[in-house]
Every structure is written in C-alpha cells, then in structure tokens.
Structure 1
Amino acid sequence: MKNQTLALATCALFLAGCSSVSDSNYNPLNWFDGDSSDQQLEPEEGYVTVTDPRNLIADVRELRIEPTQGGVVVAAMGMPPTQGYYRADLISPTNNIPENGTLTLEFRAAKPPTQQPVSTEVSREVWVAYFLSSIELRNIRQIRVVGANNSRTKSKR
C-alpha cells in the first residue's frame, strides 16, 4: 500500500509541476497534440530567385518533334554567332505549363569564355533535345522554341 501511495504522490507531484509550465515539453498534454501556432518555413529574406545566366541562342534554324515511347522528343538546332558555345538546353520558363495551348521553350547556351572564330555555319551548329511526357502533352497544341532573333513553332503530332 505504501508503494502505491508513493507512486500516486509522485505522479501527482509530477503532473502538478507540468501544469505550472504549460508550454513545457515535459507536459504530457503537449506530447502528441503538436504546436497549434502557425509555423512558416519561408526564410525571412524571402526565396532567392535564380535566373539562368546563359544567353538565348542567336537563331533557331530547325525544330523537330519526334514521337517516342511515352511522349515526344523536341529537337532543335540553333546557330550561335561564333564557335565555342556550350551547355545548351531547352528551358521551360513556365515549368511545362502551356499558355493558350502553346508551350514555350527557351533555347539557351553559355557563351565561350574567350574570343572564338566565326568559321563555317556547320561548325557552329548546336543541337539540343527536350523530352515531354504524354501527360504533359495533354494540354499542349503547339510547341515554340525561342531564340534571341527568331522562334520556330510546330504543332504536336
């Protein structure tokens, strides 16, 4: 009987101490309830907006849409002003969400760090490809690839 009384007194003392510190982690009422206050994970300074430092390719010369298993491959050929352009990609500024049925892709490539010769057009050709799944194609009627001086548009097949 003494053991039960002692255990009951200890529990009562422990719980009485928790009631005075209602926000404490030692309070059993706070263990599974979670925090009711709104928490934001956004940084105080806001999110950093990262812009692509690569330039738009000068001219888009060719655009192909090739059907594949589960979608299409958009292939484009661009012509930079000189040789040496690298890290070329098709970038979707709208995260593959079409505007009025048209998906716009920007043809971007990094400029060479040093002066490069102009040379022949064949030596300057830059090819890129971009995969679009069947799910992404549901609301797309046209695909447009944009360069600095022009753009090419094709209807999906």
Structure 2
Amino acid sequence: MRKSIPLILIAALVLTSCGRLRDTRLNPFNWFGRGESRQIEAVENRNPLIPRRNVLSAREKDDLRQPIQQVTFLAIERNPSGAIIRAEGVTTYQGAYEVELRPVIDETVPEDTLRYALVAYQPRLGVGTEASRRVVVARDLSNQELVTIRQIEVVAAANVMTARR
C-alpha cells in the first residue's frame, strides 16, 4: 500500500503533463495545423479559379459547378493511410449540391502544394441565412500523395485558406 500511493501520484503527474504535447509539433495530428485565410488578389483578366482548358479533358465541358463564395474552415486530419482534407464554406445561394474539392492543375501551382477549388452546383433559390448556405466537404489523400506536399490550399471565389506542415 505504501508503494502504490506514490506510484499512483507519479503516474497522475506524468499523464497530466501529456496535455502540453497536444499543441506541439511532436503530436502527429498537428502536422498540418489549422487553415489560415487570405483574400484573393485580382491578377490580369483571367479568373484563377478556372484552370486552363485541355483539349483532351471532356469532363470540364460537362461540369458546370461554380466556386462557392467563401471558405470558412480548413483542417487536415491525419489517419493511418494518409490524411483527410475537411473544408467548410458558405455558398452564394441556398440549395447547393454536389459539393467537391476539385484539384486545380495549373502551372502557377508550386510542386510542393496541392490546390483545390471548392465548387458546387448553386441554384438561385434564395440567399437566406449564412447557416442555411453552409456546406462541408472532405477528400481523402494517401500517404503516397502526401510525400512531397508541404502546403494544401482550398480556393473559393473570395478567399483562399492554406494549411502548412
């Protein structure tokens, strides 16, 4: 009994000190961190959300989804097979559907960056409250896709959110 009480106290102190590691880089769940937002600056007359067309790409002709208004949250959640990108945003109109993180393939994207456009079909049903226009989308990435990636960006019409390693 005499030896068990000090051992229990020491174990309790060690376990309570583990809370400090929660917000450090030693914790693998914090490797990408939270997303940070910045405004999109107008460059040229070309819309940066519309990738340059490829003659061989037939899907782009049929896909009429538009970028949503604003990205409000970005999180990269690690899992054993890679990571899950979770993004939340606010659409321009109510009733958005088929929300997707579409990869942006452009020569301006650095090699260590994954850039996605947050797009959806947005019927003009009405504006409503922000809560009624909120959408959530996720995309799974494998460890092979993440090997050279240092930064993940999610682009909307009004802003870009970035998560870095």
What is the TM-score normalised by the length of structure 2?
Answer: 0.60
Q: For 1:123 and 1:81, locate their aligned partners in 2 and report how far apart those are by CA, in whole Å.
A: 11
Q: Is 2:97 the counterpart of 1:75?
A: no
Q: 1:49 aligns with which of 58, 68, 78?
A: 58
Map of 1:134 onto structure 2: 143
Q: For 1:151 and 1:61, locate their aligned partners in 2 and report how far apart those are by CA, in whole Å.
A: 9
Aligned Cα RMSD in Å? 1.9
Residue 117 of structure 1 deviates from its aligned partner by 2.2
Q: Is 2:75 the counterpart of 1:60?
A: no
Map of 1:120 onto structure 2: 129
Map of 2:104 onto structure 1: 93
Q: 1:149 aligns with which of 145, 153, 158?
A: 158
Q: Would the alpha carbon gap of residues 80 and 135 (structure 1) be closer, same or farther in structure 2, given more than 3 Å must change? A: same
> Gaps (5+ residues) in structure 2?
1-54
Paired residue secondary structure (1:120)? coil
Residue 47 of structure 1 deviates from its aligned partner by 3.9
Paired residue secondary structure (2:78)? strand
User: Which AA in structure 2 matches 1:106?
Assistant: A
Map of 2:9 onto structure 1: none
Q: For 1:59 and 1:47, locate their aligned partners in 2 and report how far apart those are by CA, in whole Å.
A: 30
Larger radius of gyration: 1
Residue 65 of structure 1 deviates from its aligned partner by 0.6
Residue 118 of structure 1 deviates from its aligned partner by 1.5
Q: Which is bigger in relative contact order (C-alpha 8 A, separation at least 6)?
A: 2
Residue 49 of structure 1 deviates from its aligned partner by 3.4
User: Which AA in structure 2 matches 1:55?
Assistant: Q
Residue 122 of structure 1 deviates from its aligned partner by 1.2
Aligned residues: 107
Identity rate, percent: 36
Paired residue secondary structure (2:132)? helix
User: Which AA in structure 2 matches 1:105?
Assistant: Y
